[in-house]
Amino acid sequence: MMRRFAALLIALLLLSIALAEEIDLSPTPAPDVPESASLPPMSDAPLLESPPMRLNCAAALLMEADSGQIIFEMNADSPRPVASVTKVMTILLTLEQLDAGRASAGDAVTVSDTAAGMGGSQVLLDVGERQDVGTLLKCMIVGSANDAAVALAEALYGSEALCVEAMNRRAEALGMTNTHFVNCTGLPADGQHTTARDVAVMSRQMFAHPRYFDYSTIWMEDVDHGDGRVTQLVNTNKLLKLCDGCDGGKTGSTNEAGYCVSATASRGGMRLIAVVLGAASGKERFAIARQMLDYGFANYRQYPVAKKGTRVKGALPVTGGEKDGVALVLDGDLTLLVNRGDEQRLSLSPSLPESVAAPVQAGQAVGHVDVIAEGRTLARIPVAAAESVKAKGLPLNRIIQNWLGRF
C-alpha cells in the first residue's frame, strides 16, 4: 500500500511539472505609464536634406503634425531665445491640467501683485482682480499676455518658480534636450533657451488638444475686468488672416530673440507646423512661415502604409507547439508623409525569426517590418502573433499508468 501511495505522489508531482509546461506563471512587468501621455516621437531625419527655399531667419523647421515627420529644417538644434513662443509650454501645461480634471475653465483666479506687475504684452490685469482660468488662458493664447501667464502659473502650481520646474520636467519628458526654461512668459532671462526642433515638439503637443483651438481662432474679443473697464484682445498671429487653413500658433519677439512664430495650418485633413525663429521683422516671419506651409501642402500628402491588425502573409513556424505555425499581424498603424507621386517607391522589408518556440501568446512581439524608401528606413512596424499556441503537453495518463504499473 505504501509503495502504491508513494507512486501516486510521484505521479502527481510529474503531473504538476507537466502542467507547468503549459501555463506560464512568470510575472508580467507592469507597463510604464507616463504622468502625461505623449504623442509618438518625431522622425529622426528630415525628408529633405536642405530647405527647398531661401529662409531669411536664424532657424526653421517644417513638420507634419500627426506623424511628427520633418519635411525640412535649418539650424534646428541651435539653442536660442524665442521670446513669447516660450508660452507654448505654459499653455500646454494649462491644457493638460484642464484635460486631467485638476483644474476647470470656470475656476476663479485672484490676480497677485507679481502677475499684475509683469511687463511686456499684457491684458492689463489689476491686483486683486478675479478672472477665471478659461479667460486667462484665452488672454495668453490670443494676446500673449504675460500677466495672464503668471496668474495662471501661480494658480495652478503655487508660484511661477514651481510652474517653471514643471515646464522643465515636461520638456525633459518630451525629449526636448536643448531647452531650459527660467520663466513662464519668455521675457528675457539668462539661461533661458530652446531650439526650432524643441519648439516643434512642444507645439505639436499643444496642437493635439482640441480645446486649444477654441481660443486660438479668436481674432478680436473684449475682456471685462469687472469694474467697468474693458481691454480689447487682438490675436498676435496674423497668419490667421494671411494663410489658408491657419488656425493656431504662437508669436514672440524681443531684441535678442528677433521675431519668432510657431504656426499651424490644416488643409485636406493634413496638419503642418512651421517654426520660424530669429526673423528680421514681424512681417517677414509670417511671410516665411506661410511660404513653408504652402510648400508642404503643395508637395506632400499623407499615405496610409499600414493598419493595426492587418494579417501578414503566411505563418511563422512554431517549435514544440500544439500547432506547427502561428499567424502574424501588424501591431501598429502607420501613416507616412510622402512626396506626391512617390507612393510606389515605398517598400516593406520584414525582419522575422526562422521560428518561435511554444508557448506563444496572442499579441506577443515576434519581429518587425521596415518601411524603406530609396534605401533609407523611414519607419518600423512591429509584428505580433495573431493567436496563442500552447506547448505540447506530456502524455499524463501513460506516465501515471507506467509508474503505477511498476509497483
Known active-site residue 313:
no
Question: Which candidate, 46, 47, 55, places its Cα nearest to that of 291?
Answer: 55
* Full DSSP string of 120-138: SS---PPTT-EEEHHHHHH
Q: Which residue of the set 67, 112, 121, 144 is catalytic?
A: 144
Question: Which candidate, 72, 58, 43, places its Cα nearest to that of 291?
Answer: 72
Give the pLDDT score at 404: 58
> Which residue is it, cell 488656425?
247
The span from the CA of 72 to the CA of 52, in Å, is 8
What would the pLDDT profile of 142-162 be if each residue is shown by its tens digit?
Answer: 999 999 999 999 999 999 999
The span from the CA of 26 to the CA of 79, in Å, is 47
C-alpha cell at 379: 519607419
- Length, in residues, of the chain: 407
3-state secondary structure of 205: helix
307-407 placed in CATH 3.40.50.960: no
**Where are the chain's structural domains?**
59-300, 307-407
* Full DSSP string of 335-378: EEEEETT-GGGEEEEEE--S-EESPB-TT-EEEEEEEEETTEEE
The distance of Cα 238 from the centroid of its chain, to the nearest Å, equals 26
The span from the CA of 63 to the CA of 264, in Å, is 9
Give the pLDDT score at 182: 98
The span from the CA of 155 to the CA of 149, in Å, is 10
Low-confidence residues in the chain, pLDDT < 70: 1-44, 394-407
Q: Which residue of the set 43, 67, 87, 253 is catalytic?
A: 87
C-alpha cell at 329: 499581424
Give the pLDDT score at 350: 86
Angstrom distances, CA of residue 350 to CA of 114, 158, 326, 368, 379: 59, 52, 16, 6, 12
Q: Which CATH number fits domain 59-300: 3.30.2350.10, 3.50.50.60, 3.40.50.980, 3.40.710.10?
A: 3.40.710.10
Question: Which candidate, 12, 8, 71, places its Cα nearest to that of 300?
Answer: 71
Spell out the residues 6+ positions from residue 29 whose beta carbon is closer than 8 angstroms to its own. none
Give the pLDDT score at 337: 82
Give the pLDDT score at 300: 94
The distance of Cα 297 from the centroid of its chain, to the nearest Å, equals 22
Give the pLDDT score at 307: 85
The distance of Cα 383 from the centroid of its chain, to the nearest Å, equals 22
Q: Which residues pair with 64 in a beta bridge?
A: 272
3-state secondary structure of 58: coil
Known active-site residue 238:
no
The distance of Cα 207 from the centroid of its chain, to the nearest Å, equals 10
Question: Which candidate, 82, 63, 94, 87, places its Cα nearest to that of 265?
Answer: 63
Known active-site residue 144:
yes
Give the pLDDT score at 399: 56
Q: Which residue of the set 67, 84, 121, 203 is catalytic?
A: 84
What would the pLDDT profile of 65-111 be if each residue is shown by its tens digit?
Answer: 998 999 999 999 999 999 999 999 999 999 999 999 999 999 999 99
Give the pLDDT score at 375: 77
